Amino acid sequence: MKLALVFNPFSYQPHEENLRVVQRYFGTFPPLSLAWVAAIAEKHGHEVRIIDARTLGLSPEETVGLLKDYQPDIVGFTVTIYAYPETLSWIRHVKKEMGCPVIVGGFGVGLYPTEVMASPDIDFGFVGHVHDSLPMFLKEWGGDQRYSMIPGLMYRENGELKQGPLSPPRFDFNVLPIPARHLLPNDLYASFPTQRKNFTVMVTSLGCPFECVFCANSKTPFSARSPRLVLQELEECYHTHHVREVDFFDYDLATNRQNLMEMCRGIVQKGLDISWACRARVTLVDEELLHTMQQAGCYRIYYGIESGVQSILDQIRKGISLDQIRKAVSMTKRAGIDTLGYFMVGNIGETRETVRQSVRFAKSLGLDYVQFSKMTAKPATKIYADYVRDTGHDYWRDYVLGKTEAKALPHPWTALTQEEIDQLTKWAYVSFHSRFGYLVRNVLKIRSWGEFKRKVKAYLEMLITREDSSDEKKPFDIYRDARGR
């Protein structure tokens, strides 16, 4: 079989958690899920092509041109709920021009399977992991087309939507092959702080045992990839794809301390000259671990701090204390690793004063970077389940079905308005980054002219652009309001 996988572009939506300017500079990341799908299909003898239209800047027409040259039997897309209407428009264009079956997969399909499959332009959908179901499907599609026993497959029979047996909730991450990065434009990927090329992302574990109310992966089954397989993938990235910088996208790379220590020792033993970043929980790092990580090339850790107010941390079930945050950041800096703190604005019980407290706390920590996001009720989170229960309205379901347009969701857990949350989020960024000492330190750490231009441009755009075009206040009026002056 010839399978084509398309990663389509998507634009900023009002329900995004990031500010527009932040999203614009976020970076371009490899579609790792599609690379895994491709690797699974190739492992079973199928021919695959990935078209990363987002990174390559391709239009639907240009993408169809590449598809016509390739002449696939099937075209696949990954579904993200937040950008579903745009993905569906791409699917419709491809379906109209190519005529071949369209399959979809991804976390979004599992959240709203019947709603995603409501479009007649989508022929098949996969709920859950496709390690077993995709090869079974490709075999049956080219043969007897017996779909009823394929785990998680959504299909139609005589016009009726049907689904195969559900996949088991637990998944052994070790069964997946190494993602098919040979099908990706690896030299084009970069994140905002990227300093080396080539850049890629990796995932060494699935799931998260913690219970934050704002996260869709709260209390999900945890499965870690063995250090041996992780090192194999790192070696392939290094030697074959010339990768020199990696961002580990695990929810918390330190959840399995032993695996992380083994990975670090392996990087040193194999002489892999790579720089890497990761996400970690402040309660799971220690002096020995951080030193080992730094020796293996870790140069930045992203910590989920969320708020500088203990009562808010308790309400969002973060399960950490301000003292634990201070200790973790201090240890990380002593180990020679940069720190980035994730914060949210519009938390449960948030006020203008608690936002100011969070910004003061962020400054006091001496963080190298911060990211302030808007608390958003995402699908499959506890805070969204509470919202649906209290209002009787499932916004994300209606959004997938095309019954409502993209809009910022209400925040009934705080008295702050959406306009205030937008303004305060932007003020938090500017207040943190505009300190003279901070600016000087970060300019001295810049390693290239390209990095300098990128950061200066982003900073200036943050200063002069307005998040909400309906807001008639000038930017610095907003900042004065946020400071209470």
Q: Could you tell me which residues are beta bridge partners of residue 155?
A: 162
CATH for 189-375+411-482 (1.20.1740.10, 3.40.50.180, 3.40.50.970, 3.20.20.70): 3.20.20.70
Task: Name the strand (E) or helix (H) holding 208.
Answer: strand 205-208
CA distances from 363 to 164, 187, 367, 482 (A): 52, 35, 7, 16
User: Where are the chain's structural domains?
Assistant: 2-163, 189-375+411-482
pLDDT of residue 466: 66
Q: What does the pLDDT look like over 23-44, one tens digit per residue?
A: 776 789 999 999 999 999 999 9
pLDDT of residue 145: 87
pLDDT of residue 472: 35
* Cα 479 off chain centre by: 29
pLDDT of residue 480: 31
Q: Which regions of 19-165 does DSSP assign to beta strands (E)?
A: 27-28, 47-52, 74-78, 102-105, 124-126, 153-157, 160-163
Number of Cβ atoms within 10 Å of the Cβ of 324: 15
CA quadruple 257, 258, 259, 262: dihedral positive or negative? positive
Give me the half-sphere count of Cα atoms (radius 13 Å) on the Cβ side of residue 152. 24
- pLDDT means per 10 residues in the chain (485 residues)? 96 87 80 98 98 96 98 97 95 96 95 96 95 95 90 93 84 93 96 87 94 92 95 98 97 96 98 97 98 98 98 98 98 97 97 98 96 94 95 95 93 94 93 85 71 69 60 32 34
- Give the angle subtended at the CA of 274 by the CAs of 339 and 266, to the nearest 5°: 100
CA distances from 446 to 51, 362, 431, 455 (A): 33, 21, 21, 9
pTM summary value = 0.91
In 3D space, the residue among 474, 478, 379 whose CA is nearest the CA of residue 422 turns out to be 478
pLDDT of residue 468: 56
pLDDT of residue 474: 34
Task: Name the strand (E) or helix (H) holding 223.
Answer: strand 220-224
Do you know the residue count of the chain?
A: 485
pLDDT of residue 328: 98
Report the top-level CATH class of 2-163. alpha beta
All residues at 6 or more sequence positions from 18 whose CB lies less than 8 Å from its CB, including other chains:
26, 371, 373, 374
Q: List, as own/partner pairs, every contact residues 62-69 make where C-beta atoms lie below 8 angstroms and the sequence separation is at least 24, other chains included.
A: 63/6, 63/8, 63/90, 63/94, 64/93, 64/94, 64/97, 64/98, 67/4, 67/6, 67/94, 67/97, 67/98, 68/97, 68/98
* Cα 370 off chain centre by: 17
> What six digits make up the tokens of 449?
């002219």
Number of Cβ atoms within 10 Å of the Cβ of 386: 15
Going by DSSP bridges, is the β-strand pair 153-157/124-126 parallel, antiparallel, or unpaired? antiparallel
All residues at 6 or more sequence positions from 378 whose CB lies less than 8 Å from its CB, including other chains:
17, 214, 215, 216, 384
Number of Cβ atoms within 10 Å of the Cβ of 333: 16
d(CA 3, CA 172): 25
Would you call 81 helix, strand, or coil by DSSP?
Answer: helix
Question: 58-68: string of b/e by CB count within 10 Å (b at 16+)?
Answer: bebeebbeebe
CA distances from 448 to 27, 196, 296, 452 (A): 17, 10, 23, 6
pLDDT of residue 258: 97
Instruction: Scan for tokens 């500088």, then name that residue.
Output: 308
Torsion-angle region of 403 (φ positive above 0: left; ψ -120 to 50: alpha; else: beta): alpha
- Give the angle subtended at the CA of 208 by the CAs of 204 and 213, to the nearest 5°: 145
pLDDT of residue 481: 36
pLDDT of residue 268: 98
